[in-house]
Every structure is written in structure tokens, then in C-alpha cells.
Structure 1
Amino acid sequence: MICIRKHAIIDQHYLLFIQDSNICIGKNYANPKYVLPINLQSKLEWSFDKELCQFDGFTIEWKHQKKLFNMSDIDCRRLKSLIDGKILYKEINSQYFPIQIVGEGTFGKVIKVVSLIDRKEYACKVMKLNQKFSKNDIIYELMTMQSLNHENIVKIKEVYSSKSHFFIIMDYCRGGTLREYMAFRTLNQDQIVIIMKQILNALIYMNSKGYIHRDIKPDNILLREENDVSSIQVCDFGFAARVEDIFIKHPNCGTPGFMAPEVIKYDQTNPYNEQCDVFSCGSLLYSILTGYNLEVQSEESEIYNIEAQVYEERQFTSCNNQFKNILLKMLETCPNQRITAKDAQIYFENFDLYLLEEQNSLDVTQKIKHIPIKKNGFNQL
């Protein structure tokens, strides 16, 4: 790739190439003059002509100065394809047009946008820097997402930043969230099995990479297409962490109603692992089966609702009675005795076979216990 630095007297032509995770610009390959690391600390601003729908160059910061380079549209697009999602871009408005807000949560809002480059719709997660979530927290989330490449996990397309916000561009899932999908319909057995298999597949993959999600719930499950549960994606990695980073990355985090007991009671002498995500999956399954909203909206709540009196026999129909045993295994309060994500996935893969062996299964309501919690601390079981 060739780029040009314009000067008053003589323009300078440079080679641009990628080497050792750096953007290198220079007269030759041996001694590049400019070296920009390809990471989420580096920033690059594209020069894009909206009328012609063409790139004509880019700007980088070099030794506290802005350096503008002209480059052909073809080479700009080639470079962009190599660094998308790996480096911070500036000026999101130069390439995306906002359509509408499609979601809001703890970490900000999600806006449907249209790309001025390919005219396709995307989702843009807007995250504001504040005292609760620092730049390092957001960078950690982005690096986590960069490390994960799975069909059931949402993927970063691009990342833009300003002085006060981060903008994460992702594929737009037309089916919305699982919560929205469940609001107007009752899922049948086959649909439930399909959903659980995909979520567990995503978690097994995350576990294999050393990560846990810590916020599995219907709001964080997306349907790629409308009215279709055959292709879903796990999203929102704001609470995700490597197992070894739990202590320093919001250890008591998650959504009340979906948090595992060991997460609620966490202290340095009571660590937890990926089994907490299995409990959250069990909570999600219970929410699907009963239509019950498990989220504790009030900070004054003293009962952890997932194991409170909502577990009543009348909540179960003849259809979802078939899920009682796996539900019991996933909601086991002791993480060492709780079913693993791999075994749960095998269970759902062979769901009909297991049902034949469980005709005389125990009643879930006889096994569920209460977990009382206080606003400013947690009681022991």
C-alpha cells in the first residue's frame, strides 16, 4: 500500500505495511518512519467523502502532532479490513448515521445505525466514561470480545471513541432480545432446547478461553433474525472476566435474580469460577418456563427472588415439567455439585433420551431453598 504526506514543496511517498502488530509507514521495509501499534490505545481518523462514498486518507497522532496521509480508496479499505475492531477510530459521525435507540442498560444504550459505506444496518453500543466504569473497564471489555470468536457470541466490527464516549459497532440482530421475544409468546419444548444448547455452547467456548460471563439473562441473548431462535448470540461483556481477574473486576457483579449464590456471597476466601454461569443459565431457563421476571428492581429487596416462593408447582405446565430435572441440576446452590456447562449441553443434545429415564423425577419445589440477602451484606446459607 502507498500513502502520501503532502508538503509545501515536495510531497513524500511512503510504503504502508503491517508488521509485528504495527502499522508501519516509511520509505522502505527496513526502517519505517512512523510505527503505530495496532491496539485499543492507538487512534486513527479516516478521511471519508460522504458524497462520493470514498476514502481518501487517514490521520494519526504522532509525537503529539496530527499527521495526515493521503491514500487511495482501495488501499484505505484494505487497511481498514486489517485493523477493524483492533484500533480506536475517531469521528463516528463521518461513517454512520443514527436511526433509533433499540436498547438501554447498565453500561449505556444501543442505537441502530446505518453505515455510509455499505448502507447496511448495524448496532452501536454507546458507553459513557464515568466514575463507575472507567476507560480501563471498557478497554478490558473490548479486549475480552476481541479474544472470542464464536458463532453464538456477538462480534466487534469497529470501535470509535471520543473524549467522553466509546462507540462499539456490531452486527444488528433483527430479532431483538430474548426477553422481547418471550414477551408475546410461549416457547415450545423444541425452541427451549435450541436456545439452551446455543447459550451453553457459547459458555463452553468462553470457559475454554478462560473467561466467564457473569451476566447471563434474557436481555443479553440476541436473536439474529425476527421470530427465529435457531441463531442466537450472547452479548454484553461488561461483567465478563478471566477467572484469575475476578477479584479485581467487580467480583460481586451481575443482575439480581440471575446471580449465583457464590457470586452474591463472594469474598477473597470464597472464590468462584465458571460454574456461576451455569446457575445463571438455570435462572434463565426458569424465566423461560414460567414467564416470571426474576430481576430484583428494588435495592431494598431482602430476598433473592430466584429461590424464593416463586417456585410453585402451579408455575409448571405439562410441557415444561419435562425440564424440572435439568433445572434442578443447574440451580444447585453448591457450585461443586452443580452440573457443568458441558454436561448440561450434552443433556440438551440428548433431551428426549434423558426424558425417558426421568419419568419419576423429583419435584423441583421440594429441592429449592431460599437465599436471604441484605442490602449491605449477604447472609451465609
Structure 2
Amino acid sequence: MRKTMTLQSDYSKSSFFNDGKQLFCNPPHLQMEFTQFGNFLMKYNNRQNPTNLFLQEPIIKIVDEKGERFINIYNVCVKKTLNSKTQQLGLRISKNGQFIELYGEIIELWKSIKKFAIQTDFSLKYKLGQKIGEGYSSSVYKAYKIINGQKVAVKIIDKSLISRNNNTEKQYLINELAVLRKINHNNLLKLHETFECDENIYIVTDLLEGGNLKNSIFRFRYSEQETIILMQTLFKSLNYLHERNIFHNDIKFDNILLRDSQDLTSACIINFGKSEIIEQNLFSSYNLNIYEQTPLIQFIRKKDILALCIVIYSIFQKRLYQEKLILDELLMKNYESVADIELMNSNPTLQQFFEILLSQKGANQLDSLKCSDILNFEVFNLNIQRRSSKIQGIPYNIINNFRRSSKFSPRNSQKEQQISNNLQKSLKLPTILDSSDSKILQKSSYSPQTENYISHRLLSGEKRDSQKPRYSFLKKCLSPNI
């Protein structure tokens, strides 16, 4: 079992995430709108001063009698502390050996900064369950929050393996945390908290219990319309990332999971280790300025779009392709690997979608195409119809509340009788089996209108023939033919 012991009381110097910078940073270059969190008592260098605290992720602004000071809370070490004099609960924020303590109403503040911070008390908050995944330097476990039993996923990274791998795995970890801290979308993996101990790093995220999209696609039969809804869901997620200048760079079947195995709209994109964040107002990681970034952005945006199209194409073709190989060929405008698009038996709008994105016909416009443009394609103009009742023709807006609203309205029993009579006149009801050997299927489901019909049959049947026992009518009315 992996060790979960905590580090020393002030571990910010020895933390894996220590970048050597001071706790207080320079004011941000860009103008930021801060949200006030109220008054706090700040303890710093053994002195306590009242302060006003403001937050704009990921910067804290502290205003006191000495002026304004700023803290970048990205990867700061945070733990709860207790004021020895007032016994008031507070937060200790530390970085590279320097720290401040804040006392006051810290609950909302803690909720806002915890996804940026590094904690140590993982074993006090979570209990590990079964292993559900494994990589080179990490393992993924199902875990439970001790205080309320909430199920989460915990990625446990071995710090020694990261440090021995020429910083590649370390950069993947830093990238993943950077992206997870910037996003908040139902169809993207959500970060809860990050912990650290002597040997491991713990990243707590949502638990996606639906499993891999690939397994669900080949296990269940989905209609063309349902699959188009999946396409729309994934392109909306990708559009959310691209609008924030976040580019995934590794979209494939293995990096798309489902919250619910039978709900394609619950698809979530995961694994942001190879992602690229390009800040247009700063220098990018490629050391290009804003004027040189446009071709780069176009290229990596096109790479994400094509990778997602390959996944979607595989779903419709019910075949698994070598995703990386096809992606490289498409980026070089070689369309031979997907030459069978014209032979697809699909509706015209879907055919047009694949021709624009995966064939020579759309090669010229693909460089400037964005996810927002793709979402305006005709294929996504869906007219989703509500599922019809098993008794066709029954309207969904039948009022089930029979409270008497006026003295001129019929009484409850009369009103209910009128609705049943009207339904019987307007519908040709199915034949009821009179065989006593008919069996009730346990997995059959009935609409509310069917239940009303059954109640009516029971009442009218007993009035016609009081000699027949009630259970015989139940057998008739619950026949699988209804």
C-alpha cells in the first residue's frame, strides 16, 4: 500500500512544486477586477494586522495600512491553523519557506483557492478503493471522501519516477494541473484538490464511472441521431478549450470517458498532460510573440479538430483506426486513408460534414475553420422529438391533478371518468388477453396513461361482474401486449 504520511509543518521549501520564487509577487501587468472577500486578521513576521482581502484567480490582493501586496496562489502550500491566543481557525499560505496566516471567515476563501493549492492531509480526507487505471509513473484509484462518502478518482504520481524521466513526465503533470485549474465544464474532467507527501502526489478529480467511450460504442447500439448529439457534445467541449487558448494535442478514444455508460451526452475529455496553453498577451512556450502565433494556433487547432473527427468517423464506421497515423496523413493533406467517405450510407448533412473535414473538398477552408464554425453546420440542426408513449396518440399534457378548482367543475371521480371515456373513444386500445397463463414481464414499463387505463378497467370490470376476483383483472390489464 502506498504511504500517505504528511510532510513537516512548513513543507513549502521541499515541495515538488517549489519554483524558488518569493511568497509576495509583483502587481499583475494586466488590469484585473478583484472580488472582495472581507476583513481578515493577517499574521506575518510575528505581527498581526487587520487587512482587506480581494481575489481574482489566481491572484490574492491584500490591502492593509502598508499598502497593497499580491500573492500568486498557483501551487502555494496551504494548511489549516489555529490562533494560539483567540483559538480562531485560519489558513496558513506558504511558499519557498515564507508564510502568512489569515484568520476570519475562511470557508468561502478556502473553496476558491483550494484547487490552486497543495495540501498534505490526504489520508485524513480520503480512503482509497480499487485501482482503475495505471500509467508509467502514476496509478488511478477509486476513492471515497471520509466525511460524506463521495466517490472520486485519485491519480497517484510517484515523485521519484517523475524526477528520473528527464522532466518529460514532470512537464506533463504541470501541464495537466495548469489546464484543470483553468477549466470548469460539464464535459471536461473536473479537478477537486491536490495533495503531496514525501513520495507521492495525489490529484483528486471527478470519478467517471461510465468507462471508455470506445467500449460503450461497441457495446450498445446507438442511433445516428444519438451519435450526432455525441458529436455536438464533444465539439462544444473542444470549442470551450479553444476559446481559452487551450489546445489538447492528444485527442483519441482513450482520452474520452463517460460519466454514464448509456448517456453519450456525458462524454468527458481527459488527460491534458500534452496540452498547450498559449497566452496571446505574453510569450508562449514556443517563444513566439503575438505576431508569430497565428500560424501556430491555426495548426494546433486544426490538429485537435481532425483528431476528434477521426474518433467520430470511427464511431460511424464501427471500426478502430490507427488514430495517430491517420492524423499525420491528414495534416499532410493525404486523404487516401479515409477515401471511403463517399461510400458511407448516411444522411446528406452528415455526409457533407465528413467531406468538409476529412476529404479534399474541404482542404482549403480547414486551416481557418474553428469549432464554433463547425457547430453551425447543418448536421447539428437537430429536431429532437420526445419519446412517444406505448399507447400511441395519448397527449403528454394530460392533467393528473384532479383538485376541484370551481364549484362548476365536475367532482374528482366524474372528471377522472370523463378523461378515461374520452381516451377510449379517441384511441383504439389493444386487445387484452383473457388467457390465465399470461405472465407479467418484470422489465416491462408502463406510462402514466396506461396506469390510469388499468385502474379504470379494474373499477368498471368489478362493477359489471362482482363475482370475478380482482387478481384476474390485474392479469388481464398487465398483459405484455399493452
TM-score (norm 2): 0.53
Q: Is the 8 A contact 2:245 2:277 kept in 1?
A: yes
Aligned counterpart, 2:74: 40
In the alignment, the residues of structure 2 paired with residue 186 and residue 36 of structure 1 have an alpha-carbon distance, to the nearest angstrom, of: 55
TM-superposed deviation, 1:246: 6.7
Shift of 1:186: 3.2
Cα gap change, 1:308 to 1:167, in 2 (>3 Å): farther
Partner SS state of residue 89, structure 1: coil
Deviation at 1:309, TM superposition (A): 7.9
Match of 1:179 in 2: 214
Distance in 1 separating the partners of 2:98 and 2:323: 50
- The 1:16–1:277 alpha-carbon spacing in structure 2 relative to 1, beyond 3 Å, is same
- 2-side partners of 1:336 and 1:313: how far apart? 20
In the alignment, what sits opposite 1:285?
Answer: 312
Letter in 2 for 1:152: N
Give deviations 1:215-257, integer Å, cap 9, x for gaps.
22222223223421223322221122135747479xxxxxxxx
Is the aligned partner of 1:350 residue 2:388? no
Residues 317, 335 of structure 1: CA spacing in aligned structure 2 closer, same or farther, 3 A cutoff?
A: closer
The equivalences for 1:163-202 within 5 A come to: 165-202=200-237
What's the RMSD between the two structures over aligned residues? 4.4
CA 1:86–1:279 in structure 2 vs 1: closer, same or farther (change >3 Å)? same
Q: Deviations over 1:258-284 (max 9, x none)?
A: xxxxxxxxxx99982311111011100
Contact 2:210/2:257, CA 8 A, preserved across alignment? yes
Q: Deviations over 1:156-189 (max 9, x none)?
A: 2222234554322222222223123224223321
Structure exhibiting the larger radius of gyration computed from Cα positions:
2
TM-fit CA distance, 1:201: 0.8
Stretch moving more, 278-287 or 214-223 = 214-223
Whole-angstrom distance in 2 between the partners of 1:176 and 1:29: 51
Counterpart AA for 2:302: Q
* Alignment deviations for residues 60-108 of structure 1 (CA, whole Å, 9 cap, x no partner): 54673788x6979xx5543321212122222322211111222335773
Q: Residue 260 of structure 2 contacts residue 266 of structure 2 at CA under 8 Å; is this kept in 1?
A: yes
The 1:289/1:108 distance shift into structure 2, 3 A limit, reads farther
Q: Distance in 2 between matches of 1:144 and 1:288?
A: 27
Residue 318 of structure 1 deviates from its aligned partner by 4.4
The reply to whether residue 211 of structure 1 matches residue 239 of structure 2 is: no
1:230 aligned counterpart, secondary structure: helix
Partner of 1:64: 97
Q: Which amino acid aligns with 1:350?
A: N
> Hey, which of these two has a bigger chunk of strand by percent?
1
* Structural mapping, 1:33-182, within 5 Å: 37-46=71-80, 59-61=92-94, 64=97, 75=105, 77-105=107-135, 108-128=138-158, 129=162, 130-133=165-168, 135-162=170-197, 165-182=200-217
Note the C-alpha offset of 1:330.
2.1
* 2:380 partner amino acid: E
Would the alpha carbon gap of residues 4 and 144 (structure 1) be closer, same or farther in structure 2, given more than 3 Å must change?
closer
Q: Quick one: distance in 2 between partners of 1:12 and 1:116?
A: 36
Superposition deviation, residue 193 in structure 1: 0.9
Aligned to 2:365: 337
Q: Distance in 2 between matches of 1:127 and 1:219?
A: 19
Unpaired stretches in structure 2, ≥5 consecutive residues: 1-38, 83-87, 289-294, 384-482
More helix by share: 2
Query: Residue 65 and residue 337 in structure 1: after superposition, are their counterparts in 2 closer, same or farther (change >3 A)?
Result: closer
1:263 corresponds to which residue?
Answer: none
Aligned with 2:272: secondary structure?
coil
The answer to whether the 8 A contact 1:160-1:166 is kept is yes
Unpaired segments ≥5 residues, structure 1:
6-10, 49-54, 250-267, 353-381
> For residue 229 of structure 1, what is the aligned residue in structure 2?
264
Q: Provide the rounded CA distance (Å) in 2 between the counterparts of 1:106 and 1:119.
A: 29
In structure 2, the CA distance between the partners of 1:142 and 1:65, relative to structure 1 (3 Å rule), is: closer
Equivalent residue number for residue 473 of structure 2:
none
Distance 1:235-1:309 versus aligned 2 partners, 3 A rule:
same
